[in-house]
């Protein structure tokens, strides 16, 4: 924000008022609180803008003309060097917002508020048009454009609440969330909606699938999960576990490029080693696990001294 202080320092017996104009050599005319200053008066004229990530210089210029058509002028040069601002990296899941409606009030939104009252383009989809924000957090996925729209709205409501809550350092503003979601809905394109909903994978990810009793023996549920959302983004996906091969096959039929699918040995220890070896120094990787795969992988880490055993915590 640029600011220019302007004052009328006329001190003659018949002090005259000044008609004042303020300009910036970069921004043009600056709107001031007043056009006219009486003797002894002052004002501050401001202009808001977005700082560029470069060295920036500007000159504020003020011109005044009194009742006798006499003029006075002054200028004030300024400069800054724009530096990037760290973006937030916090956010809560749709499940959190669904189960903690007591956290909603600071956001300014309510669970019973209609989707179209926030995301105007959702009115074009019959199922969305009659839904509330809380309804959207309960949406499942599904095929086709309507399934993608449901996926998008579940993620969108959570993102909106994250962006609006003063206690969450989210990387986007509410206006940005609403604008991006409305654009995706207006496109009517499934891939566009899934890209916005999922954001695309940005880091290598290991998916470990087991089919032991605690996981459920029937892994046909993999076909009910919208893994198509993971197709957007450059990151590779590694598969391991007893049914790791089934997971790799599911990713193939989801449309995942073959070069991004990296099947690993079914043994969790060997799979983990291969995954870690694929990461560069200091790189971050992510892991998605079924229940027994989680327990098994944690046991591997405990045996290696990377984490404590449960009974030692």
- By DSSP bridging, strand 36-37 and strand 18-24 are antiparallel
pLDDT value of position 59 = 84
Residue extents of the structural domains in the chain: 2-81, 94-198, 205-303
Asked whether the beta carbons of 20 and 9 are under 8 A apart, the reply is no
| pLDDT grade for 23, boundaries at 50, 70 and 90 | confident
Residue 102 burial by CB count (10 A; 0-12/13-18/19+): exposed, middle or buried? exposed
pLDDT value of position 58 = 81
pLDDT value of position 37 = 79
Asked whether the beta carbons of 10 and 46 are under 8 A apart, the reply is no
Tell me the fold of 2-81: Immunoglobulin-like (2.60.40)
Higher pLDDT, 35 or 50: 35
pLDDT value of position 287 = 92
Other Cβ atoms less than 10 A from the Cβ of 52: the count is: 10
Tokens, residue 37: 């200053």
Most confident of 17-26, 38-47, 107-116, 233-242: 107-116
Q: How far is CA 247 from the centre of its chain?
A: 28
pLDDT value of position 226 = 75
Work out the mean pLDDT of the chain and round it to a whole number. 84
Given a cut of 80, whether residue 138 has pLDDT beyond it is yes
pLDDT value of position 15 = 52
Asked whether the beta carbons of 37 and 17 are under 8 A apart, the reply is yes
Residue-wise pLDDT for 38-89, tens only, equals 877 887 877 766 666 666 778 888 888 887 888 888 888 877 666 555 556 6
pTM greater than 0.75: no
Residue-wise pLDDT for 203-249, tens only, equals 799 999 999 999 999 999 898 887 877 776 678 999 999 999 999 99
Closest Cα to residue 206, out of 297, 118, 115?
297
Residue-wise pLDDT for 161-213, tens only, equals 999 999 998 888 999 999 989 999 999 988 788 878 876 566 799 999 999 99
């Amino acid at each position: 924000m640029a600011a220019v202080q302007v004052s009328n320092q006329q001190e003659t017996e018949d002090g005259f008022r000044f008609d004042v104009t303020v300009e910036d050599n970069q921004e043009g005319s600056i709107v001031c609180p007043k056009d006219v200053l009486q003797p002894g008066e002052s004002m501050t004229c401001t202009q808001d803008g977005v700082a560029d990530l470069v060295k920036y210089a500007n000159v504020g210029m003020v011109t005044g003309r009194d009742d006798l058509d006499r003029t006075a002028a002054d200028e004030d040069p300024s400069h800054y060097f724009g530096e990037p601002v760290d973006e937030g990296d916090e956010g809560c899941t749709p499940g959190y917002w669904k189960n903690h409606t007591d956290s909603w009030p600071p956001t300014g939104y309510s669970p019973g508020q209609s989707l179209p009252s926030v995301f105007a383009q959702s009115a074009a989809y019959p199922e969305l048009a009659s839904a509330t924000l809380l309804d959207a957090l309960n949406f499942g996925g599904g095929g086709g454009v309507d399934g993608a729209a449901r996926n998008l709205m579940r993620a969108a409501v959570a993102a909106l609440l994250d962006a609006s809550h003063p206690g969450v350092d989210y990387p986007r503003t509410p206006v940005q969330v609403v604008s991006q979601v409305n654009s995706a809905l207006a496109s009517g394109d499934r891939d566009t909606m899934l890209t916005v909903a999922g954001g695309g994978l940005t880091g290598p990810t290991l998916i470990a699938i087991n089919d032991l009793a605690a996981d459920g023996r029937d892994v046909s549920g993999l076909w009910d999960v919208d893994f198509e959302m993971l197709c957007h983004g450059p990151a590779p996906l590694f598969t391991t576990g007893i049914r790791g091969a089934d997971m790799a096959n599911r990713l193939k039929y989801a449309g995942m490029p073959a070069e991004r699918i990296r099947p690993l040995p079914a043994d969790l220890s060997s799979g983990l080693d291969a995954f870690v070896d694929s990461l560069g120094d200091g790189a971050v990787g992510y892991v998605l696990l079924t229940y027994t795969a989680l327990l098994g992988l944690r046991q591997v880490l405990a045996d290696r001294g990377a984490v404590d055993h449960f009974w030692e915590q």
